[in-house]
Amino acid sequence: IRELNTLVSVEAVELGAATVPEELVAAHSLVIVADGPLSHRVRLDGYCKKHGKAFFAAQAFGLAGALFVDLGNHTYRVETGQGENVKLSEPKLVEFPSLAESLTARWDTLGDRWGSVPRDYVNYRILSEFQERTGRLPSPEDANDVFAIGKQLLASHGVLEERPKVSVSWSEGDASRLAAIAQASIAPVCAMLGGIIGQEVVKCISGKGEPVENWFVLEEVTEHGKTFRAPAAKKK
């Protein structure tokens, strides 16, 4: 970074996410977290919320990935046109929920007209729950525990039973596959997810461009990206 811009101040702090103090978060403009237990992310986002800082949290697993964005009360403009004809829209205000609030959104409310809650978001939440309970991501030998956790979560969020455009299939085979890839970090997937984060950081700092609001998932099957909001925006 210093080679690109000698005016940039670069400081290395050798602390894990579990021990980052509030004052360190308050001294920066934004925080980006990659991997780590969900509870650590919730704590850091709480600090960001308190001090008006932007927060990004991402995790790649196998061929999929997930990104959470909390920009607080964020104002942005959208550019239209090209060259000398570029115009900026009127300022738009978006109120982002915290990660803690977002995690309470029931999955049966997160679908759209094309289908249910994104499957890779469900997988991300199952892996996160396993990590919270055990302190690590699962391995292939943990497939039975992953299956049980997944079944509990899907049932509690109302997506296990058969409901059109709401239910999510979940089998022992699904659990075995998820456990097998949970610890895999594949370079091209990490690169794509990192590119999305970089793009969102630039939009956040510049105030130009519509931001991810507030979840982005990189879908394993298609490698397409999908955004959705959790919880849904309140109607005004």
User: What are the extents of the domains in the chain?
Assistant: 17-99+185-228, 107-181
Superfamily per CATH, domain 17-99+185-228: NAD(P)-binding Rossmann-like Domain (3.40.50.720)
Q: What is the pLDDT of residues 131-180, one digit of tens each?
A: 999 999 999 999 999 999 999 999 999 998 777 778 899 999 999 999 99
Structure pTM?
A: 0.91
Contacts of 217 (CB under 8 A, 6+ apart): 64, 65, 66, 67, 118, 120, 121, 124, 225, 226, 227, 228
Q: Which residues pair with 69 in a beta bridge?
A: 56
Longest dimension (CA), the chain: 60
Q: Where are the alpha helices (DSSP H) in 207-235?
A: none
Q: What is the pLDDT of residues 196-207, one digit of tens each?
A: 999 999 999 999
Residue 98 φ then ψ, to 5°: -70, 165
Residue 216 and residue 67 in contact, taking contact as beta carbons nearer than 8 Å: yes
Task: Assess whether pLDDT exceeds 80 at residue 1.
Answer: no
User: Cα 99 vs. chain centroid, distance in angstroms?
Assistant: 9
Q: Name the pLDDT band for 16 (thresholds 50, 70, 90).
A: confident
User: What percent of the chain has a predicted confidence (pLDDT) above 70?
Assistant: 98
Task: Assess whether pLDDT exceeds 90 at residue 57.
Answer: yes
**Three-state DSSP state, 35:** coil
